[in-house]
Chains A and B, each alone.
Chain A
C-alpha cells in the first residue's frame, strides 16, 4: 500500500514529465512555424497538388499540437486538484 507521500511524489513526477512534454510541444510549434514560413517563401506561386498537401499537413500538425497542449493543461489542473485533496 502506497503512502500519501509516495502518491504525492508519483503525481509530482508525472507532472514533471508533462512539463517536459509541454516544453517539447512548444519547441516543436516554433520549429513548425519556421518550416511553414520557409516553405511558403520557397513555393510561393506553386499550384502543384503536393505543395498544397504539404501546407495542409503542416497546418494540421500545428493544430494538433495546440490541442495537445490544451489537453495537457487540463490534465495538470486535474492532477493538482487531486493532490490538494490528499
Chain B
C-alpha cells in the first residue's frame, strides 16, 4: 500500500467513524422527551422546559448537518487526490445506533443488600389504556397465581417482537407484546425508530426518501398500519411519513406520546414486511441486508 493509499484509508476511517449515529440517537431522545412534556403541558401554563428542548434539538440537527458537511469535505479531498473510487462507500450504519444494547459496565454496582428493584410503574395503566385504544386489544388478564407478568425492558427487543407480529398479521399478538412492556420501554420506540424507518423506506424506494415520495410511502404502508392499529389517528401516521420524507408535518395539537411510539413500531414492521425481511434483521449484530435497487411500492 502506497503512502497515499494509506492516507486515503485513514481519512475514510475517520469519516466513517464520525458520530452521526450518536447525534441521531440524541436528537430522537430529545424529540421523545419533548412529546412527553408537550402532553403534560396540556394541563399547565408552565412551559416545563419544552422551548429549551426545542433549542437543544435544533442544535443537534445543526450538529448532524455539520458532520455531513465534514464527510462531504473529506470525500472531496479524497477525490482531489484521485482516491475516491478506491472502495465503495460503507452502508449507512446510523440506524443501528439506537438499537445497540446499553453498556452496563460503566454503571456503578449496587451496594450489597441494595440490589436494584424496579421502580413502581406509575404510567402502566396510562400506557395500557392507550395501547388498547390504538390496537383494539384489551390488556391480558392478570396471571392466576398473582405473579407479575414477565416484561421485556429492552426497546429494541420490543421492536423486533412488534415487527414479528406485523409480519404474521396477528393483531392480538401485537396487542399482547405492546401491553407486555412498561411505559418507558414502549415510549422508547419513538426514539429508536426514526433512523430505522428512514433506512427501510430508502431501501424500499431505492433512493433516499424525499418530499415527492410521501404519497408512494403512504400507499405502500398506510392501509396495513390502519388495519393493525384501527385506533391510530391519521395525523400520527402522516407526521411519521413526513419526517421520513424530510418534509414539514402539518400543524396539529400535541398527540398522545404513545401514539407516535406504537405507530412508528408498526410502520417499521410493515416496511420490513414489504421488503421481505425477517424481524431479526433489526438486530444491530445481524448481517447487513442486501439493499435492493427499489421495490415496487
Contact = CB atoms under 8 A, between A and B. Distances in A.
A68 B60 contact: yes
A13 B126 contact: no
A63 B48 CA distance: 25
Interface string A40-69: 001100101011011001101110110111
Interface residues of A, number: 57
Interface residues of B, number: 56
A11 B187 CA distance: 13
Contacts of A16: 184
25 contacts: A11-B37, A14-B32, A17-B32, A17-B188, A18-B53, A21-B33, A21-B56, A24-B26, A25-B60, A32-B18, A34-B17, A35-B18, A38-B14, A42-B11, A54-B74, A57-B66, A61-B23, A67-B59, A68-B26, A68-B63, A75-B56, A76-B49, A77-B49, A78-B47, A78-B52
Interface of B: 7, 10-11, 14, 17-19, 22-23, 25-27, 29-30, 32-34, 36-37, 39-40, 43-44, 46-50, 52-53, 55-57, 59-60, 62-64, 66-67, 69-70, 73-74, 76-77, 80, 122-123, 126, 183-184, 187-188, 191, 257
Interface of A: 1-2, 5-18, 20-22, 24-25, 27-28, 31-32, 34-35, 38-39, 42-43, 46, 48, 50-51, 53-54, 57-58, 60-62, 64-65, 67-69, 71-72, 74-79, 82, 85
